[in-house]
């Protein structure tokens, strides 16, 4: 039995993606309504051979609501629901300049930033990356203000096949990402690292660029 309730949007997606017809969905809904809460709509669809169980499981996996950062932290027992509520209250009082929930929990001393990064990696299905300086194309930074990168806590790693590998601490900075895509005329591939890691790599890149510039001057 699939322990998942297909909400209205997921049911509509079954039709728009061509998995079911409107008639099939209506019929399944009608049967499910008559059976009551003992059987899920998912089970009705499978038992009526409207969709195979593997295909339905794949569909459910794609359409299952993504857990929030706070949900992941709670599930990992790093914070409690009370901690999250307290952090939300801090955010509310500091509005309109409130920080993200992860930042707030870190500033409250409840978790470390690495816990936030690990949870964000799960939430957004991204990898955590700690590049060696030899893996970074330092000349990419010449196209962007180092000060700007420090402010955004981001570091371009490598440009390959019209795809820029970008290291960030926050994967939700959509306006910044769009600006970088326009600047480099490419798509982005994101990886995550703590802000301390990124700032450290930026310091190394800065030192290397200064060394290169000094060499050119000599």
- Dump pLDDT digits (tens) for 189-203: 999 999 999 999 999
pLDDT score at 53: 85
Q: What is the pLDDT of residues 95-154, one digit of tens each?
A: 767 788 999 999 999 999 999 999 999 988 899 999 999 999 998 988 888 999 999 999
Q: Spell out the domain ranges in the chain.
A: 8-63, 69-124, 127-217
User: Nearest to residue 133, comparing CAs of 56, 197, 210?
Assistant: 197
Q: Where are the beta strands (DSSP E) in 8-130?
A: 127-128
Q: What is the pLDDT of residues 39-91, one digit of tens each?
A: 788 888 988 999 988 888 888 877 777 788 999 999 999 999 999 999 999 99
Percent of all residues in the chain with a pLDDT value above 70, rounded to a whole number: 92
pTM for the full predicted model: 0.69
Six-digit token pair at 58?
Answer: 């794949």
pLDDT of 214 over the 60 cut: no
**Between the CA of residue 43 and those of 13, 17, 154, what are the distances in Å?**
17, 19, 46
Q: For residue 174, give Cα distances in angstroms to 78, 171, 181.
A: 28, 8, 10
The whole-number average pLDDT for the span 3-9 is: 71
> What is the side-by-side order of every strand in the sheet holding 127-128?
127-128, 187-192, 163-168, 154-160
CATH second-level architecture of 127-217? 2-Layer Sandwich (3.30)
pLDDT at 215: 53
**CA pair distance 61, 49, nearest whole angstrom:** 19
pLDDT at position 211 over 50: yes
Q: Where are the beta strands (DSSP E) in 12-148?
A: 127-128
Provide the sign of the torsion angle of the four alpha carbons 56, 19, 65, 100, taken in this order: positive
């Amino acid at each position: 039995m699939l322990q998942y309730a297909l909400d209205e949007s997921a049911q509509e997606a079954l039709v728009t993606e061509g998995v079911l017809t409107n008639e099939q969905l209506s019929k399944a809904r009608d049967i499910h309504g008559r059976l009551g809460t003992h059987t899920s709509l998912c089970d009705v669809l499978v038992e009526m051979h409207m969709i195979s169980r593997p295909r339905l499981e794949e569909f459910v996996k794609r359409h299952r609501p993504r857990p929030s950062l706070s949900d992941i932290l709670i599930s990992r027992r790093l914070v409690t629901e009370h901690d999250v509520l307290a952090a939300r209250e801090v955010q509310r009082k500091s509005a309109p300049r409130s920080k993200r929930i992860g930042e707030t929990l870190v500033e409250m001393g409840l978790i470390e930033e690495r816990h936030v990064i690990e949870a964000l990696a799960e939430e957004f299905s991204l990898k955590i990356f700690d590049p060696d300086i030899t893996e970074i194309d330092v000349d990419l930074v010449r196209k962007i203000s180092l000060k700007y990168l420090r402010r955004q806590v981001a570091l371009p790693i490598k440009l390959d096949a019209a795809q820029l590998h970008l290291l960030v601490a926050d994967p939700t900075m959509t306006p910044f990402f769009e600006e970088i895509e326009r600047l480099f005329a490419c798509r982005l591939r994101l990886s995550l690292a703590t802000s301390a890691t990124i700032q450290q790599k930026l310091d190394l890149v800065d030192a290397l660029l200064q060394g290169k510039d000094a060499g050119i001057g000599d």
